[in-house]
Amino acid sequence: MDGKVQTISEIRGRITELLKAGWPAEEAAALASAIIGEYTGMGRAAQMAFGERVPEAGAAARIENAVARAAAGEPLQYILGYTEFCGHRIEVAPGVLIPRPETEEMTMMIISENSGFTGTVTDICTGSGCMAIAMAMAFPRATVAATELSGAALEMARRNISSNGAAVTLIKSDILNDDPLQIPLSSIIVSNPPYITMREKAMMHRNVLDHEPHEALFVPDDNPLLYYRAMAAVAETRLLPGGTLWLEVNENLAGETAALLSPKSYSEVRIIRDIRGKERFIKAEKYG
């Protein structure tokens, strides 16, 4: 942006054009509105209705800084320092995976199917803590635990748990190597572990590849289900009879992932499509 005083409409138009170099037009416009809204308090409708207004100098400077970061490919959630997840404000920063809409969709399924839940739920590979926090707030009489290995993610999860006033017990744990007995006996186990194969990198946007933690995203091409094998082993001993295992999975490997769950242990193993029709979730009900 130059030194000329600009209205909200002018700023919005310039940001949108700048961001079109890296995003589709509709997404660029949404990003522009979100950035302006964050620093002016004006929602998208207000920006359209009162586009002739001029933001105060401090807001204009913050908008300019945010736009420069967005144009360089940094995710908006990192720029703003937070995202919304199931109605809760979740802080995010480089080194911690940004919660995805698919993860929110699965969390809402769990919440809607377990109204009044009072048992124990464990979120494995919790990252920012978003799923554990949402379930702790939805199930105030439940016991909620969350495991994570990354130090950066654990610290962010602690902050999010505190800021949301959620009752969640954090456990530092490596699901691939640590003793499964670290995991509480649970009636619900949920996880969104790394599941994107290295060969799928080429299809991903640069704002993900350049900024988000690869260890939270990618798995080897020759062993793409390593986290799910570990999850299946944990669920064998730590998921209580009659309990439910929920997994977010690679849409291209849903059938193979479901096959890891023994029919001797589960009365039903379902592959569930997400809102876009992709085979994204697995729900497995353990024999009671």
In this predicted structure, what is the pLDDT of residue 27? 87
Give the separation between CA 122 and CA 129, rounded to whole angstroms. Answer: 11
In this predicted structure, what is the pLDDT of residue 207? 77
Give the separation between CA 147 and CA 189, rounded to whole angstroms. Answer: 11
What's the CATH number for 94-286? Answer: 3.40.50.150
φ and ψ at 84, to 5 degrees? -105, 135
Give the separation between CA 270 and CA 260, rounded to whole angstroms. Answer: 12
Give the separation between CA 117 and CA 141, rounded to whole angstroms. Answer: 7
Sketch the domain layout of the chain as residue ranges. Answer: 8-72, 94-286
In this predicted structure, what is the pLDDT of residue 211? 84
In this predicted structure, what is the pLDDT of residue 4? 60
- The total of other beta-carbon atoms located within 10 Å of residue 175's CB is 21
Sites in the chain below the pLDDT cut of 70: 1-5
In this predicted structure, what is the pLDDT of residue 206? 76
In this predicted structure, what is the pLDDT of residue 250? 98
Give the separation between CA 12 and CA 209, rounded to whole angstroms. Answer: 27
User: 209 is written with which tokens?
Assistant: 């590849």
In this predicted structure, what is the pLDDT of residue 40? 93
Can you say whether the dihedral through the CA atoms of 113, 188, 143, 241 is positive or negative? positive
